[in-house]
Amino acid sequence: MAEAVAGCDYVLHVASPFPLKVPKDENELIVPPGKALSGCCARRYAGVRRVVLTSSFAALATELALPGPYTEEDWTNPDGPGVTPYVKSKTLAERAAWDFMAREAARCSYQW
Q: What is the mean pLDDT of residues 20-48?
A: 72
Question: Which stretches does DSSP call E strand in the chain?
Answer: 10-13, 50-53
pLDDT tens for each residue of 46-100: 677 777 777 777 787 666 666 777 777 888 888 888 888 888 888 888 888 788 7
- Which residues contact residue 48 at a Cβ distance below 8 angstroms, ignoring those fewer than 6 apart? 5, 8, 9, 10, 11, 40
